Structure 1
Amino acid sequence: MININSRHAAFGLTMLLLFFISSTKAQTYAENGMVVSDNVIASQVGVDIMKKGGNAIDAAVATAFALEVTHPEAGNIGGGGFIVFMKSDGDVTTFDFREKAPLAASPGMFLDENGEIKNNSNHQGLLAVGVPGTVAGLYQAHQKYGKLPWAELVKPSVELAKKGFTMTYGLYNVAVRMSERDPAEDIMRNYFRGEDGEVVKPGETWKQPALAYTLKQIEKHGRDGFYKGEVAQKIEDYMKANGGIITKEDLEKYEAVEREPLKGTFNGYDIYSMPPPSSGGVALIEMMNLMEQANISSVEFNSTAYVHLVAEAMRRAFADRAEYLGDPDFNLDMPLDRLLSKDFAKTRFENIDMNKASISDPAQFGHPYGGDNTTHFSIVDKEGNAISLTYTLENSYGVKMGSDKLGFIFNNEMGDFNPVPGVTTATGQIGSDPNLVAPEKRMLSSMTPTIIAKDGKPYLVIGSPGGRTIINTVFQTVLNVLAYDMRIDRAIEAMKIHHQWLPDQILYERNLLSPDTRDALEKMGHTLRPTTNIGVLMGITYDASTKLYTGSSDSSSEDGGARGY
């Protein structure tokens, strides 16, 4: 007989319940609106905002701030990202709130006297932190397109941080590991601890008073609550005391940018995605153009021919990414029209040998071919507005540093710049000019928030975390829905691969690619490497015949889920 008064027994029951909930995810249906994110609490916050009369932009602001509280691995105010926004009239715009290099940054800032990266400083320590853009981006989008008052959208996250929420099993596993980290990563040792000094256990309430203070400043003062005043001063003080270079001037000068989306087509569908400094939209559209050339729907899914063809498309798109793409404000001659054209895809496709793997040559980029952590959420509202938003801290929990007076974690996005000018290697280090460090420059990103439209209305809203794998997980999921007519949950869960040109290998999800297919691919010259999981997708589809939204979150997101009404 179970003693329900025993804390250990209660803990075990909590684990069982949480396991059951997270293991029985299915598609979620809604008539009026839907949010799919990495945390069901945050998804519900967004839905509640829409029920109060807010639109998709309002719900996105509220969801994003709630994820800062409930999904600190990647939900953030210490990082940056992108929004693709399709309005109910079919017009599409984007918001770029990618982090920037500080004013004191320089191309060789991470190198020692021998020209080599010192102490992994482009990923570890405060030199790796880019000027955060999330608050500025959310505020700009809201000021132009939001309906409800700003304070009403931030308030739920303030309350969540102040009053707390129930610790989950997935978050607890991370909390135990993080609380044992190097003392230099100061905030993480105490981040998940309660008032008693112990790590908060599943079923107990986790409160974040310092974060509540910071969010309250943003609630009261909008953008200025982060980039000016008390919070900005505390950020500068922390940076100066711990070897960082971000100043109040960096923060005050930061601006998000509204940009025209990239547009492509595939078999009658319209593809809208993010332009540079994201590389995701360019690569996605280039690869979809290649698949159109290949008539991919005639190729059996998961077959050797399918994996080979998809990998070769990825190889070419990532080679072009490395050679040409960077911050558009610093690279005025990026050949986007050519990279996105059907003619360019035709030239690329003609150079694919269906019986043999191409070779990734770091000295020649794409010319031989013819021619970790982030989070995403998707939103639709009852008027037909749609949001695809991806934002990031780069690594899981970013640089794992932050002021205990502010309660949030800084990004380590400076690692997305090319760290050694002019040096591109077979292991995957890129040194091309478009993405070298420069003051106030935005680092190249792989985030790929995307909206697929049919007859001028949102048909698929999709995105994923995963570093450079983001592009390819989104690409394959879009392909699954549009070419193979998969429903959204199956498209998300289906086998994924990843090839990024360098290193020259196919990463595949263990146990989802048959041994026979692997053998056949190796005989064609491919190198394969297994991994546990690629991507954590959050998607919504719309069925015009039933007038229903269908949402699904990747099963690898333990606390994720769709909420609708």
Structure 2
Amino acid sequence: MRFIDKVETPLKAQGIRHGARRQRAVPALVICFLLAACGGPPKPVGVVGHVKGFAGMVAADEPNAVLVGRDIISAGGTPADAAVAMSFVLSVTLPSRASLGAGGACLVYDQSKNTVEALDFNAPPPRRIPAGADRPSAVPALPRGLFALSAKYGHLRWEELVTPAERLARQGFPMPRVLSSQLSTVAAPLLANPEMRRVFADANGNALAEGQPFVQMDLGATLTRLRTQSVGDFYAGAWAREIVQSVNSVGGSLSEDEMRDFLPQWKDAVAVAYGDDIAYFSPSPAAGGLLEAQWWSHLVRDGAYDGVGTEVRPHLVAETLARGLADRQKWLGAGGQVQGAPDELTGKGHLAEIMAGYSESGHQPLSGEPPMMAITGTGLVVMDQSGSAVACTLGLNNSFGIGRVIPNTGVLLAAAGWVGGRGPFDMGPMLAINANSHEFRYASAAGGGPSAPAALMETALSAVVDGHPLVEAVAAKRFYATPAPDGVFIEPESPDAKGLEARGHQLEETPLPARVNAIQCGSGSPSRSRCAVVSDPRGSGLALVAGSE
């Protein structure tokens, strides 16, 4: 299997352009040796099965994306290649959470260079909202963000990464369970819009149900144009002008200057050393990342979590979550600007101020405004056989964004953050690497609601600190503590409920929408036996191993 339909020459199949260099003749003895040793010629890069044995691990919230990611890794693509292709697929198969109009944040670990970088392609709010914009929209960020990821860390050609999503959009696929469920909850207002009804309704005007054919010809044509022309014309050119006019015609808010000027940014990840390992988090404006770094610094780096008994830990975590959220109201400004350097905000002195008044014996109520948050998103994680890894979170700042499609493109628009009471892009992935051996240890990404950062943190504490099997850590009951309203939202039948109530926490039982995807490896080279990959059982995602031992 290849990722493009056209039959390629051997040079192009290896990612080498015509005229780039001459192929040297391969001695017949070497060919005979390869044929004898492998039972046939080795499969070229770009063909599934190119990587022999264990190739890596992949997880995401929608199965089609995971299948594509697995095949990309098996075909010799990098984790960045897989993440790009998976994100494009998610824009087709999970448009409630991801879209070409969405934004995101990624952490990238290159094992060969021992470097971790953060890629910020958060979809920024408009600089100016026109009078007729009844649904302010963010600047579409995903295409340029994915192009930046591919250009710096990819190995396969751009066309090969776009094609799987393009094919799914044009040929259609059975409506996934996860998308059907999300669509049914907002069908009435969503399908009142004719363009949305044309995409998401059947011939009778009813929301598409699980298993029904889901075809998106307009989106397929957009992906074809991105595949053949790349992203330049999407952001600056005739196509960009068409997009801007179309966005404003449906009540969104966009200008040609905003499209042209948007650029993804490579940044230093927020690093937190603990023991022999280093945890990395996304910097602002991925507002969940620095919050997670504060939580991890206090609980793990500074030993607060290990310093109490297991019966106290839920109370400690709940107090830490709520106090961190209250503190974020002070350092996170409108538009995602941060007041203070990450080292200062994760420093012991600042964390001591946050936790001042904490009592092991009982809850201390906090005051302040409810935290502003976006309410949706999705995450993916990928690792290859070397231990290089990518973890990404993507989001539209609302379920189905603003509920409008850019006419003739099939692209859903993201809601503008920091507008109309909506908060920041409230997610951020996590990576952990051993500082001495440079071995990959852990990666996770959470989406699905305001409780996503807390879900990511509780899962990491269970898997990394407590040492529970990853499958148990991801499936464990969770809670989400907020400073205002003062209380703890907790999943039904949680074993932590009694202890939290005994320490004065006000509990409200409710299903929490956050979904976590995670990969974890022990010491040594990554392998099926040393590593585990899990997709949250609360959702309909998938986790797969590429290749075999």
Q: Which of 468, 476, 483 lines up with 2:458 in the alignment?
A: 476
- The 5 A counterparts of 1:102-113 are 102-105=126-129
Can you list the C-alpha shifts for 1:426-463, whole angstroms capped at 9, x where unaligned?
xxx9xxxxxxxxxxxxx733212110112322211101
SS of the residue corresponding to residue 360 of structure 2 reads coil
Change (3 A) 1:328 1:395: closer
Q: Which of 383, 389, 392 lines up with 1:389 in the alignment?
A: 392
Residue of structure 2 equivalent to 1:425? none
Residue of structure 2 equivalent to 1:67? 90
What's the offset of the Cα at 1:35? Answer: 1.3
Residue of structure 1 equivalent to 2:11? none
Residue of structure 2 equivalent to 1:19? none
What's the offset of the Cα at 1:325? Answer: 2.3
Unaligned runs of 5+ in 1: 1-29, 111-120, 366-371, 420-428, 430-442
Can you list the C-alpha shifts for 1:144-166, whole angstroms capped at 9, x where unaligned?
22111111110111011011112
- The 5 A counterparts of 1:267-278 are 267-278=275-286
What's the offset of the Cα at 1:291? Answer: 1.6
Aligned equivalents of 2:384, 2:176: Cα separation in 1: 29
Residue of structure 1 equivalent to 2:5? none
Aligned equivalents of 1:364, 1:195: Cα separation in 2: 43
Q: Which of 248, 252, 275 lines up with 1:240 in the alignment?
A: 248
| Alignment check: 8 A CA contact 1:36 1:561 kept | yes
Q: Is the aligned partner of 1:93 residue 2:117?
A: yes
Residue of structure 1 equivalent to 2:512? 533
Change (3 A) 1:184 1:250: farther
Change (3 A) 1:345 1:64: same
Aligned equivalents of 1:33, 1:322: Cα separation in 2: 39
Q: Mean Cα displacement is larger for which, 210-219 or 501-510? A: 501-510
SS of the residue corresponding to residue 309 of structure 1 reads helix
What's the offset of the Cα at 1:205? Answer: 2.8
- The 5 A counterparts of 1:229-268 are 229=237, 231-268=239-276
Change (3 A) 1:278 1:171: closer
| Alignment check: 8 A CA contact 1:84 1:450 kept | yes
Change (3 A) 1:560 1:399: farther
| Alignment check: 8 A CA contact 2:109 2:389 kept | yes
Residue of structure 2 equivalent to 1:493? 475
Change (3 A) 1:359 1:177: closer
Residue of structure 2 equivalent to 1:564? 546
Aligned equivalents of 2:544, 2:364: Cα separation in 1: 40
SS of the residue corresponding to residue 537 of structure 1 reads strand
Higher relative contact order (CA 8 A, sep 6+): 1
Can you list the C-alpha shifts for 1:88-133, whole angstroms capped at 9, x where unaligned?
1321101100011223149xx99xxxxxxxxxx9xxx421x11121
Q: Mean Cα displacement is larger for which, 152-161 or 443-452? A: 443-452
| Alignment check: 8 A CA contact 1:86 1:385 kept | yes
Residue of structure 1 equivalent to 2:330? 323
Aligned equivalents of 2:526, 2:252: Cα separation in 1: 51
Q: How many residues align?
A: 485
Aligned equivalents of 1:354, 1:180: Cα separation in 2: 47
What's the offset of the Cα at 1:259? Answer: 0.5
Residue of structure 2 equivalent to 1:437? none
Aligned equivalents of 2:119, 2:525: Cα separation in 1: 31
What's the offset of the Cα at 1:328? Answer: 9.2
Aligned equivalents of 2:191, 2:202: Cα separation in 1: 18
% identical aligned pairs: 23
SS of the residue corresponding to residue 132 of structure 1 reads coil
Residue of structure 1 equivalent to 2:17? none
Change (3 A) 1:191 1:560: farther
Q: Is the aligned partner of 1:311 residue 2:318?
A: yes
- The 5 A counterparts of 1:203-222 are 203-222=211-230
Q: Mean Cα displacement is larger for which, 138-147 or 283-292? A: 283-292
Amino acid at match of 2:365: I
Q: Is the aligned partner of 1:226 residue 2:250?
A: no
Change (3 A) 1:513 1:181: same
TM-score (normalised: structure 2): 0.81
Aligned equivalents of 1:501, 1:93: Cα separation in 2: 32
Aligned equivalents of 1:390, 1:213: Cα separation in 2: 25
SS of the residue corresponding to residue 263 of structure 1 reads strand
| Alignment check: 8 A CA contact 1:397 1:411 kept | yes
| Alignment check: 8 A CA contact 1:179 1:191 kept | no
Amino acid at match of 2:198: N
Amino acid at match of 1:95: L
Residue of structure 2 equivalent to 1:24? none
Residue of structure 2 equivalent to 1:339? 345
| Alignment check: 8 A CA contact 1:43 1:563 kept | no
Change (3 A) 1:275 1:201: closer
Q: Mean Cα displacement is larger for which, 386-395 or 451-460? A: 451-460
Q: Is the aligned partner of 1:398 residue 2:378?
A: no
Residue of structure 2 equivalent to 1:296? 305
| Alignment check: 8 A CA contact 1:186 1:401 kept | no
Change (3 A) 1:40 1:224: same
Change (3 A) 1:82 1:546: closer
Residue of structure 1 equivalent to 2:100? 77
Change (3 A) 1:183 1:451: closer
| Alignment check: 8 A CA contact 1:290 1:348 kept | no
Can you list the C-alpha shifts for 1:66-90, whole angstroms capped at 9, x where unaligned?
1111111112211101010011132
Unaligned runs of 5+ in 2: 1-52
What's the offset of the Cα at 1:546? Answer: 7.2
Q: Mean Cα displacement is larger for which, 471-480 or 177-186? A: 177-186
| Alignment check: 8 A CA contact 2:398 2:414 kept | yes
TM-score (normalised: structure 1): 0.79
What's the offset of the Cα at 1:298? Answer: 5.5
SS of the residue corresponding to residue 114 of structure 2 reads coil
Residue of structure 1 equivalent to 2:361? 355
Q: Mean Cα displacement is larger for which, 470-479 or 334-343? A: 334-343
Aligned equivalents of 1:543, 1:520: Cα separation in 2: 37
Residue of structure 1 equivalent to 2:77? 54
What's the offset of the Cα at 1:345? Answer: 3.1
| Alignment check: 8 A CA contact 2:107 2:430 kept | yes
Q: Which of 34, 46, 51 lines up with 2:57 in the alignment?
A: 34
What's the offset of the Cα at 1:417? Answer: 5.3
Q: Is the aligned partner of 1:448 residue 2:422?
A: no
Amino acid at match of 1:269: D
| Alignment check: 8 A CA contact 1:460 1:542 kept | yes
Aligned equivalents of 1:528, 1:351: Cα separation in 2: 21
Amino acid at match of 1:541: Q
Aligned equivalents of 2:452, 2:184: Cα separation in 1: 28
Amino acid at match of 2:398: N
SS of the residue corresponding to residue 467 of structure 2 reads coil
Q: Is the aligned partner of 1:552 residue 2:531?
A: no
RMSD: 2.8
What's the offset of the Cα at 1:172? Answer: 3.2
Residue of structure 2 equivalent to 1:507? 489
Residue of structure 2 equivalent to 1:279? 287
Aligned equivalents of 2:295, 2:183: Cα separation in 1: 39
SS of the residue corresponding to residue 271 of structure 2 reads strand
Can you list the C-alpha shifts for 1:333-390, whole angstroms capped at 9, x where unaligned?
524222112343345445311123223222899xxxxxx3200000011232100100
Can you list the C-alpha shifts for 1:254-282, whole angstroms capped at 9, x where unaligned?
11111011000233321111011122232
Aligned equivalents of 1:172, 1:350: Cα separation in 2: 46
Residue of structure 2 equivalent to 1:6? none
